[in-house]
Structure formats: structure tokens, C-alpha cells
Chains A and B, each alone.
Chain A
Amino acid sequence: MYKFMVLTDPDTAAGFRMAGVDTWEAWNIEEARRMLPELMLEGDAGIIAVNEDFMQGLDERLMNRIERSARPIVIPIPGRSRKGGGMDYIERLLRRAIGYNVVLRR
């Protein structure tokens, strides 16, 4: 049995906490960048859902580590700013997955 963890802003955290998952609050990208590697080390972490706004502020080394990790699975979830959603999300995912810039027809 593994844990579902959420790393997000304090407001959204209140909602996830009501749904019964382990919820961690960060006020800004810097805080999130410090917290995420520690959460990834928790032995029973299954999924860590990270606010998209934080995810985009992570450095290349951490991103590589996230992508190589078999477990926990670290996944971006829509942030309140609604930035980086929709096509942006898919294009970013493709670029990281196959190393090409794929331009999707909108």
C-alpha cells in the first residue's frame, strides 16, 4: 500500500486534505523545491501530485530525477493560476518525453 501525496498551495491543500490524502503546503516555488526531494524519499510514497505552478520552477536535475523515478510517480496537477494547462501541458510533456518540439494543431 502506497501513499497519495499532494504538494500544493495552502488554499488548495485544504480541499485535498478533506479528500483524505497526505497534503503538504508550500507558499512558493522555493519552498516546494526544497520539500519535493524529501517527499520523494519517503519509502511508501506512491504518487506525489505537485501544483503545476511549482513544477515549472524545478531545475533540470530534479526534473530528470523525477522522470527516471519508477516510484513515486510525480505528476503535475492544475494550479490555481491555470497557467501551463491544456496544449502547453501536452507540448511540454512531449518535449520532455521524446526530445522533440511537437507543434500541435489547435
Chain B
Amino acid sequence: MTTEPVKPTRMELIRKREQIRLAEQGRDLLREKMDALVREFFRVMNEVSTSREGLELSARDADRSLLIAQAVDDPVALKSASFATKRRVVLDIDSRSIMGVPIPVIEKKSLALGVLERGYSIVGTSGRIDEVAEKFEVELDLIIGLAETETTLRRIGHEILMTRRRVNALEQVMIPELYRQTKYIKITIEEREREDLFRLKKVKRMLDRRKRQSRDAAAVTET
């Protein structure tokens, strides 16, 4: 915070106190938000963890089918079939918001094809190759789900970081500075009041003396 010159006035003191109240209120709200974000973060983390485990199992299953098809049918048979496959996956990506954090919603628009429409002849293509296509399609679904949850986790994580930074700024910089300033104002005002009092007393003493002197002088002339 820049150290703007603080006017040590009573008005300013009232303003600073109001600022402190607002800053502390803001900090408490942010802390609450952060608690909620952290709770959500761990919930999503569990979801990511489960999805990822599912993906790993599915990937292993798909890779195994692929391996067997490559081993038995030769990779060229797969390559040839892949030229002909009519399967096409496209995505629809939208977004919604969790606690003000924008997160993606992904939908798969796929042409699920029966054997008669998949593009390559049913004769002469081993069932192993169809199995590869199906297993990898399952894997795709899981990847899409994980892309959603993983991005959500990352975004919430980012929001937690930002919120924590703001809480820290309030708590460690702004609020202490405001307290310092009010203290300064209070001290300055008190000091000034003390000085004023002292000066007043001094003036009074001076006036008293002057009054006394003129009274004495009057008495002398009368005698």
C-alpha cells in the first residue's frame, strides 16, 4: 500500500475505523469462501482420482485389445481399417460456474455406428479390430469426463490461490497498515490536544499575570 499522507483529524480517524471494519469483514468473507472452495476442491479431487483410476483400467484394457490385434492381425490390417472407419467424434463445449469459477461442460457428439455402417467390410476384418475400436471409444468417454473434472480441479485450485493471496494481502498488509494509521492519527490528535491544553494553560497564566500587574499599578496611582 502506498503511504499516502494521512490527515490526523477526527474525521479521518472515523473513516479509518470504518475502513478497518470493512477490511476485516472482507477478510472473513474471503476466508469463508476459501473454506468452501477447499471443501469443493477435495470433493472434485476425489472425483478426479476415481475417474483417473477408471481411465487407467480402461486404457489398459484398450491397449491389450490393440496389442492382440496388432500381434495376430498385423498392424497393417488396423491401419487399413482406420482408413475406412466412419466413426467421427466431435465435441460440444459449454461452460457453467461453481462459486464464480467458470468450468467446462463437454459433450461428446459421436456417430455410434453399427457394423453395417462402420465403413469397412464385415468380411475379412477380424472381430479383434472391431473390439479395438469399441474399447478405444470407451476410453474416449472417460478422457472427456476427466478433462472436465481435471479442468474444474485446476480452476478451483487457481481460485483458491487467488483468494488466499487476497486474504493475505488484507491480513498482512492492509489491515495492519490501517491499524498503524489509526494509531498514528490517535497519537497525533492526543499530542495536539495535550499541546493545546498546555498552550491554553500558558496563555491563561500570562493573562492572569497581566491582570494582576494592571491591578497593582492601579493601586499605586490611587495612593
Task: Please report the C-alpha to C-alpha distance between residue A71 and residue B109 in the assembled complex, in whole angstroms.
Answer: 18
Task: Please report the C-alpha to C-alpha distance between residue A99 and residue B154 in the assembled complex, in whole angstroms.
Answer: 11
| Stretch from A33-41, A54-62, A72-80 contacting the other chain | A72-80
Q: Digitize B7-25: 1 where CB-to-A-CB distance is under 8 Å, 0 elsewhere.
A: 0000000000000000000
Residues on the A chain within 8 Å of B160, using CB: 98
Residues on the B chain within 8 Å of A2, using CB: 90-93
Q: Which of B38-58 contact A (CB under 8 A)?
A: 41, 45, 48-49, 52-53, 55-56
By the criterion CB–CB under 8 Å, are B82 and A21 in contact? no
Total count of chain B residues near the partner, CB < 8 A: 56
The smallest C-beta distance from A65 to any residue of chain B, in angstroms, reads 13
20 A-B pairs besides A73-B150, A86-B56 with CB distance below 8 A are A1-B91, A1-B109, A2-B92, A2-B93, A15-B65, A15-B135, A18-B85, A18-B129, A18-B132, A47-B91, A70-B104, A75-B143, A75-B147, A75-B150, A77-B143, A82-B60, A94-B157, A96-B154, A96-B157, A97-B153
Residues on the A chain within 8 Å of B146, using CB: 75
Pick 11 A–B contacts, CB within 8 A, sort by A: A15-B132, A18-B82, A18-B129, A18-B136, A20-B133, A46-B91, A73-B104, A75-B143, A77-B139, A78-B60, A98-B157
CB of A89 within 8 Å of the partner chain: yes
The smallest C-beta distance from A30 to any residue of chain B, in angstroms, reads 23
